[in-house]
Amino acid sequence: MAKHVDSSQYGRARADRDAPTEVFAAVGSPAEARGPRGETSPPPDPPSRPPRRPSDQPPEQPRGGGAGRGAVRTVGELLITAGLVVLLFVVYELYVTNLFSADKQNQASAALDEEWKKERRLQTDLLDGQAFARLYIPSFGTDYKFTIQEGVDAKTLEVGPGHYKGTARPGEPGNVGVAGHRVGKGAPFNDLDLLNSCDAIIVETAEDFFVYRVLPMQDEAAGWAEGKGTDPRCTGVTTLQDATQDGGGAYGATAGRKIVLPSRGDAVAPVPYRPEDQSTPSARASLLTLTTCHPQFSDRERLIVHSVLTKQYRKDPANPGQAPPELEGEAR
């Protein structure tokens, strides 16, 4: 017969055997821990730890440098804010102003088309901001086209290239001066420094297309006639310099591309860089001069491109869609 074990006694004995000794050491034996009816009383709460003496407290960490950290934080926040402002300004100048200028340029182009549709056009003085011509540079792509307005004030240049008042009209002897932005506001002259000698620059008026070509660069002048000047595209392009005169004569300082100070307004004089020249108009070359800021994102200097008139195409009223062959682009 199986022997039964008193589970109550077994449980109590096992509890007495397995209980941690450190828990009961402070309350006596297991018998003393039983209540009046034999129940085992719960162990009392452990005694609270005595308060630390002041010497037992961990030393407080010094808080030195608080003012310095605050100043650094303030400077950092200001730098971040300034950086964001600069970034927003760059985005505005490079992209937002281009959108505004594109819309204004489209309006000016549409107004010019309407003006050219009129049967009778009187040759009058140009008004400020008046559109009167179009500019094409085939080497910048067949879609490069900007309407030229009269004047070079800030409002006019927001629309597109502007014509220097008092300079020649397209096709006339002298110097047609045209200015344009290089960054933002449509940036019509952003790539002006990429033009090479003999590249075509075309100006369209109500009656004509005028083809100008960039003059030889300063380092090309000496061997022009035997060098690049033999290229068929360069027909009609010369250095304009007079080898019999000191300094090359009246046009000795006129090259295809120049970098000058902003004070050199005489770059658009009838004879560039010689405002004192008294030669008659018939003795002057027919030039077109484009000006813009240099370098990009700076107005410290001016980039100048000089070109000379080589061809003129009269428009045919019966063929309004006609265009000179140079507009279709040329291989460099």
Active site (catalytic) residues: 181, 293
Give the C-alpha separation, 202 to 152, whole Å: 20
Q: Which of 271, 216, 264, 225 is nearest to 249 (CA)?
A: 271
Residues 6+ apart with CB under 8 A from 132: 112, 126, 148, 149, 150, 163, 205, 206
d(CA 290, CA 152) in angstroms, rounded, equals: 12
Q: Distance (Å, rounded) from C-alpha 188 to C-alpha 147?
A: 10
Helix (H, G, I), strand (E, B) or coil at 307: strand
The answer to whether 308 and 240 are in contact (CB under 8 A) is: yes
Q: How far is CA 6 from CA 9, 15, 41, 171, in A?
A: 5, 14, 22, 127
* Residue 42 CA: distances (Å) to CA of 32, 49, 241, 268: 12, 21, 117, 107
List b or e across 66-77, with b for residues whose CB sees 16 or more CB atoms inside 10 angstroms. eeeeeeeeeeee
Tell me if 240 sits within 8 A of 277, measured CB to CB. Answer: no
Is residue 27 within 8 A of residue 44, CB to CB? The reply is: yes
